[in-house]
């Protein structure tokens, strides 16, 4: 762990590469029972992709929209809703190693790409294999995520590629909690209500 001495009350370690698990007391209905993967977090704010909210769109429709022929064998997979910001923009979370025009390596295991070339590669069946496709992202301004964490809206956990890429989206929230011995049903939803 490296600590930088920032002379402000925002002296914290970045949550980049962590999971955010919405707690039962989450006030924002858009994030009820969500799990998000933090792609960027610094003094300016945070950006994350929600990884368990389905859209009504399937991969095939994204490929169709880009006039890409689909050889992916994954055309029926659900595109996720990554969050309310830029909902028309595609974001791909994938295993580290593959590099595209706009690839940002978030941590040792997971990268984020938002350029069209990764969709071309997926449509052609070239991979990457460990991949999750989302529309939009979730954003927080400076100090906003810290405030929500202080209010116990979110729980932070180490992100595991297995939950991102090998666990069905319907089970990611519960699986991540269970892996760390957290019983979400035991955390009553009254927490945080006056």
pTM recorded for the entire structure: 0.88
Please give the residue that has the higher pLDDT: either 1 or 108.
108
- Mean pLDDT across 166-181: 93
Report yes or no: 33 and 176 within 8 Å, Cβ to Cβ.
no
- 11-37 pLDDT, tens digit each: 457 999 999 999 988 888 899 999 999
What one-character-per-residue DSSP string does 32-100 give?
TT-EEEEEEEETTEEEEEESS-EEEEEHHHHHHHTT----SS-TTSEEEE--SEEEEEEEEEEETT---
Superfamily of domain 18-186: VC0467-like (3.40.1740.10)
């Amino acid at each position: 762990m490296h600590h930088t001495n920032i002379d402000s009350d925002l002296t914290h370690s970045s949550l980049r590469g962590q999971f955010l698990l919405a707690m039962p007391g989450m006030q924002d209905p858009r994030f009820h029972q969500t799990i998000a993967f933090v792609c960027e977090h610094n003094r300016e704010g945070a950006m994350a992709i929600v990884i368990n909210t389905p859209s009504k769109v399937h991969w095939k429709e994204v490929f169709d929209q880009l006039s890409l022929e689909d050889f992916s064998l994954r055309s029926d997979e659900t595109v996720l809703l990554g969050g309310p910001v830029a909902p028309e923009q595609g974001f791909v979370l994938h295993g580290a190693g593959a590099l595209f025009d706009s690839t940002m390596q978030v941590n040792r295991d997971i990268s984020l790409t938002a350029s069209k070339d990764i969709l071309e590669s997926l449509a052609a069946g070239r991979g990457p294999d460990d991949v999750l496709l989302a529309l939009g992202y979730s954003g927080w301004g400076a100090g906003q995520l810290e405030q929500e964490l202080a209010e116990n809206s979110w729980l932070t956990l180490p992100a595991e590629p297995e939950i991102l890429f090998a666990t069905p989206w319907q089970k990611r929230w519960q699986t991540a909690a269970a892996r760390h011995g957290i019983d979400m049903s035991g955390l009553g939803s009254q927490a945080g209500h006056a």
